[in-house]
Amino acid sequence: MKQAALVLGIIAGVLGLFMGISVAGWIALTGWVDGQVPDALEQPQNAQFLKIVGVASPLLAIAGGAMAVLRPMAAALLLAISAGTMVWAFGFGFFSMFPVSMCALAAVLALMGGASSEPGSMPGRR
């Protein structure tokens, strides 16, 4: 379960980065067009917030995925925060559905992997 959380968390973070870069590009485009063409494209009211979350939330997913094997509880927390902030900022639409659902599933898998002692897991430190 921990290895699945690792893979899903990293893939979700990379997909989330693509989404965040796309949102930042859209904000840059609307800022460039704003005022030149009336009523064509409007810049979002929370543009700075969307740029910050578009980068920070996928980085949390990548960090959570990377920590999933050795620190599964902390990884589950980071992955859950990442999924929650992506839903809060971008909503649950077609493009955000995949990174959000992968982050949430990775958080559940990391949580379950940390609670169980499955065969092949690393022994605890003394």
Q: What is the pLDDT along the chain (126 residues), one digit of tens a residue?
A: 889 999 999 999 999 999 999 988 888 888 777 667 666 677 778 888 999 999 999 999 999 999 999 999 999 999 999 999 999 998 898 988 999 999 999 999 999 988 776 555 555 554
Give the residue carrying structure tokens 């590009």.
Answer: 25
Q: Which two tokens stand for residue 42?
A: 């409007």
Against a cut of 0.85, is the pTM above it?
Answer: no
Task: State the pLDDT at residue 46.
Answer: 86
77's enclosing H/E stretch is: helix 72-90
Query: What sign for the dihedral angle of Cα 94, 100, 106, 108?
Result: negative
pLDDT for the residue 30: 82
Fill in the DSSP letter of residue 116: S
What integer pLDDT is reported at residue 74 of this predicted model?
Answer: 93
Q: How far apart are CA 21 and CA 17, in angstroms?
A: 6
Q: What are the domain boundaries of the chain? A: 2-33+48-115
Is residue 39 classed as helix, strand or coil in its secondary structure? coil
Give the pLDDT score at 19. 93
Is residue 55 within 8 A of residue 42, CB to CB? The reply is no
